[in-house]
Chains A and B, each alone.
Chain A
Amino acid sequence: MALNRKIAYINLTTGEVKIKPIPLEVRKKFLGGRGLDAYLLYNNTKKGCDPLGPENALMISGGILTATCASATARTHVMAKSPLTGLLGSANMGGFFAPEMAWAGFHHLVITGKAEKPVYLFLHDGEIEIKDAANIWGKTTTDSQWAIQKELGDEEVKSCVIGPAGENLVAFASVMTGVKNAAGRTGMGAVMGSKNLKAVAARGTMDIKIAHPVEAFENNKKFIDQITSAKVNQTQGSLGTPFIWGATNSWGGLRTHNFQYNQLENADDIEPERIDEIATETIGPYHMAGCFGCQVHCRAQYRIPSGPYAGKYDEGPEYTSLGAFGAEIGCRSAETLLTGNHLVDQFGMDNLETGSLISWAMELYEKGIITDKQTDGLELTFGNDEAALEMVRRIAYRKGFVADALASGGIPATEKFGKESFDYLVQVKGMSNLHSDERATPALALNIATASRGSDHLRSRPAIDLYHLPEKVLRKIYGSPIPYDGPINSEQTSYEGKSWMVFWQENVYMGVDCLGICKYHTTFLGATLPNFEDWPKVIYYNTGLEFTPEELWTITERCNMLERLFNLREGLERNDPVKGDVLNHRYHDEPCRRGAPDVIGLYIDKDKFDTMVDELYQYKGLDKNGRPTKKTLKRLGLEDEPSHLV
């Protein structure tokens, strides 16, 4: 049974391992995955704890459906207090780790303390061992995984690991599994590094009994058909996530040169179609790979076509890498893009944060805020491919003044670069934004400003707002499972009804993260993909637990509120420029200069934006300052947190 997967508390200081069942009552309140992790984080950390100290708790988990007969239950979730933001740290990755962990008998790990010397955990068939990692420390992310397989003498072992960046406590180091699957955001790799925890390895042969196997089986087939027949997933299965580039760069929704422009012109060499050609040339016509149980297969394989790393195998690049090593730093070379992607994968650091911070440093350099002396003579100008790649290497090993400052994260770096530098840092809650420019899309702007882990597109982005869907269709989607008859607007440039869309998406994304499935299997990039109404069957057939769509909605609201409670406890204030639900001033002060005619001249109206935030707070049951009312906490059953139910 999926429901008899265990939770393990591991204290690396004492070496103590406690394994417990997860009570049904807890499952019914938080399901699993990100939702339950949020509960565990709130319960197992104290206010103001040092993110890189032994008192921080690191959660690694699968969702309630992980490795069951449902589609794409591949996601591994990692949570802790973030060293990058000082608020909620949370990242999610595909691959094969979470299913292996489930077959090894575990759904949730809570890791505290700090090992005396480098170690890794080995989970196998209900047992957990803490093993010496002296021979693996210092290795790249992929080498570490193969070294663990070799040491354990079993090639079926799956691990999630950190690379040199995590070991060097780079504030945006990622946790990785496979060649490129990364839990990249908010620096979860640095938390592992601070605990001297190099890896968590898993190997399992334990049964996961399906509650209603025949129904689960046929339902899964239907589900997969629904998912693979969507245009968006067919495109994704051919070009991977970079497919987003074509539309976004056409209308001017890309953040380039830090935030100076909103389109990268004449960048044909890094268009997804070009990357696809390179993958075909270097791998062959079938170069798409999939995560566990997923038929979307959006992960491209490639070899670097030229340059000093020519011939190196890697996977991706994701859309985020097109931003990090293209749009943001003003580079237009496939070689740079594919090399940069390879370097961050090998070092284990968030491509998005890396590219964004380098582009910030480039603007500071061009404006004279960072000097030649500080860069050790490196010409940190936009479009300087070599300098960008050199910065990636320097950041991973914290070499030189600028790279070392950036490796601490944007906000701490402003203290080293001077107050003026803060104005140019495009961040929310201390985390850099995706290379998307939200000035023409108020819904998306509200999303990044209020996302629980800082500026982020995977927490509440109503991406289908860009499709100009008829009002009737929007009402159908956003009016279920909770009726909604407020304003709604098909125009992406409108402010009307967008706060409800953001609220709704926030709950949907929490839902998929609790289930442990991928966001490409829900209402994210495609309007015809499954959500609340479709999930009760999948959950029931696989686990036997019964929920109505409305009940699932409430669970996701509850879990989102827990994330909010954590952030409030750690210092979130509505209008705080560093820890608040606000945007960089450039969103309000500088109009778009590029893109489609209707986008030109647009910016985010501050008053209308504040109204949207007010509305969103209302939907979430928060007061004007963004704090939950007593009534809300009571409704969600959260008045006694921390309640230590497990």
Chain B
Amino acid sequence: MTRVTNASRRDTDDLPAVIERVVTLTVNGRPHTLRLDTRVTLLDALRDRLGLTGTKKGCDQGACGACTVHLDGRRVLACLTLAAQAEGRDVTTIEGVSGTDGHPHPVQQAFMEHDGFQCGFCTPGQIMSAMALMAEGRTGSDEEIREFMSGNLCRCGAYPNIVAAIREAAARGGHDARL
């Protein structure tokens, strides 16, 4: 469904009308129906409309990885994905990765043990990428981990600890690991 509001403007060339759309997003297994400005990104929908602020905005230009989420099990940048594009697909965010028993996911635990973060701002994106890395089979060596984690910037410089955390989590059984 598409609705045009504020269609009558005195200067329609400069003032694009706001187009809204109703979108149903399935996030961490739960469906949410939202009426959204079509310009709203998946990132802003998660953060501003669903209150899932664990996914971070570090650049809004697809260059830092802080907004990494899983879409149908694959990692994507939520800032470069329009919310409408996620309709009918499974979105998983950092809020959806802990065990149902409330225990942290093995990758989360490994990040804590290895101090794989400092300010913590890039951490949700790093963890979403790290989990995907295991599913992608890209944890065979430190070099491979470094290469395939290079889309996630960490300005605090925790990289060696991030590699150590992923190395350990992977060694203990990949994405099914239980430390």
B and A form one assembly? no
